[in-house]
């Protein structure tokens, strides 16, 4: 792996992980473009890139995360009382949002088959475009952490399950899920990003073992690991700031058009080949 490829992949991972355009879809298309399975060839490198983007979320939502950890400890000490403690309601909703992901473990092999189809990626990019188009037209909600319920968390968690499909944006799907439950735009975004932390962290921890034991056909220099993670983290922070700005204005139209155009081009090229 060259230094420039490490920077490019770090940049793509950092931006597409948080911009509502689907990182999994772009990685699948990149594999088809390069004529191989890029993520499999550089498995450990991609696992570390994901850790880099997790760092982005921690930095961007540091105050919320510290408060959530503090309140979780207090909640355990107080016998799980949540009355009049907004962050404790937030924690309960987050726990319920994770539950649907455990069911998806049984569909892991089926989901992996979908990743090999660029036509499917194109179709799911169109779905992302439709979700973003819908998000701009949903009325402004009033729910925040003081009013969020376990049912809200569970339903947004179901939207996150849909985002396991390559081409469906995790941030886009979960933000739309929050908006359908009447979340304010700011809280929908905060919930969407923070709820991804335990899921993505757990998935990457499981992948570390496979990555370390896998035979890597293309050795990666140590400096590429470091620079790739740094680029993914920095570009991720910039992407989160951009999404926050766009979310406040309620204008995801450019991302919707991009996903629709990329989806159509992907489907056409797949059918031709």
Give the separation between CA 49 and CA 17, rounded to whole angstroms: 10
* Domain spans of the chain, in order of start: 3-272
* Per-residue confidence (pLDDT) for residue 9, from 0 to 100: 84
Give the separation between CA 223 and CA 220, rounded to whole angstroms: 8
Read off the pLDDT of each residue in 191-205 and give the average, rounded to a whole number.
86
Contacts of 176 (CB under 8 A, 6+ apart): 131, 132, 134, 135, 138, 159
* Per-residue confidence (pLDDT) for residue 26, from 0 to 100: 75
* Per-residue confidence (pLDDT) for residue 211, from 0 to 100: 63
Read off the pLDDT of each residue in 194-214 and give the average, rounded to a whole number.
77
Of the candidates 270, 211, 259, the residue with the CA atom closest to the CA atom of residue 32: 270
- pLDDT tens digits, 146-180: 999 999 999 999 999 988 888 888 888 999 999 99
- pLDDT tens digits, 235-271: 999 999 999 888 887 788 899 999 999 899 889 988 8
Residue 63 sits at the vertex; the CA angle it makes with 60 and 65, to the nearest 5 degrees, is 85
| Position with higher pLDDT, 40 vs 224 | 224
Q: If you ran DSSP here, which 8-state letter would residue 140 be given?
A: P
pLDDT grade, residue 8 (50/70/90)?
Answer: confident
Q: What's this model's pTM, rounded to 2 decimal places?
A: 0.84
pLDDT grade, residue 121 (50/70/90)?
Answer: confident
- pLDDT tens digits, 56-114: 999 999 999 999 999 999 999 888 888 788 999 999 999 999 999 888 877 766 776 66
Return the sign of the alpha-carbon dihedral for residues 46, 50, 56, 62: negative
- For 182, left (φ over 0), alpha (ψ -120 to 50), or beta? left
Beta bridge partner(s), residue 143 = 183
């Amino acid at each position: 792996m060259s230094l420039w490829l490490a920077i490019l992949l770090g940049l793509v991972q950092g931006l597409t992980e948080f911009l509502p355009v689907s990182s999994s879809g772009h990685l699948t298309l990149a594999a088809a473009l390069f004529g191989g399975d890029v993520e499999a060839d550089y498995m450990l490198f991609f696992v570390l890139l994901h850790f880099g983007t997790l760092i982005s979320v921690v930095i961007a939502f540091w105050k919320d995360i510290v408060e959530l950890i503090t309140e979780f400890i207090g909640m355990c000490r107080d016998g799980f009382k949540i009355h009049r403690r907004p962050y404790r309601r937030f924690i309960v909703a987050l726990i319920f949002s994770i539950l649907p992901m455990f069911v998806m473990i049984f569909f892991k092999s089926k989901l992996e088959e979908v990743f090999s189809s660029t036509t499917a990626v194109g179709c799911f990019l169109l779905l992302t475009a439709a979700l973003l188009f819908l998000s701009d037209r949903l009325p402004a909600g009033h729910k925040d952490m003081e009013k969020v319920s376990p049912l809200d968390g569970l339903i947004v968690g179901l939207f996150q399950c849909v985002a396991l499909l390559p081409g469906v944006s995790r941030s886009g799907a979960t933000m739309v899920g929050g908006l359908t439950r009447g979340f304010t735009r700011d809280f929908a975004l905060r919930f969407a990003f923070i709820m991804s932390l335990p899921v993505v962290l757990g998935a990457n921890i499981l992948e570390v073992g496979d990555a370390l034991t896998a035979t890597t056909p293309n050795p990666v220099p140590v400096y590429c690991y470091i620079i790739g993670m740094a680029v993914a983290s920095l570009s991720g922070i910039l992407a989160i700031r951009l999404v926050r700005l766009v979310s406040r204005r309620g204008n995801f139209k450019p991302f919707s058009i991009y996903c629709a155009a990329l989806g159509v081009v992907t489907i056409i090229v797949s059918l031709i080949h």
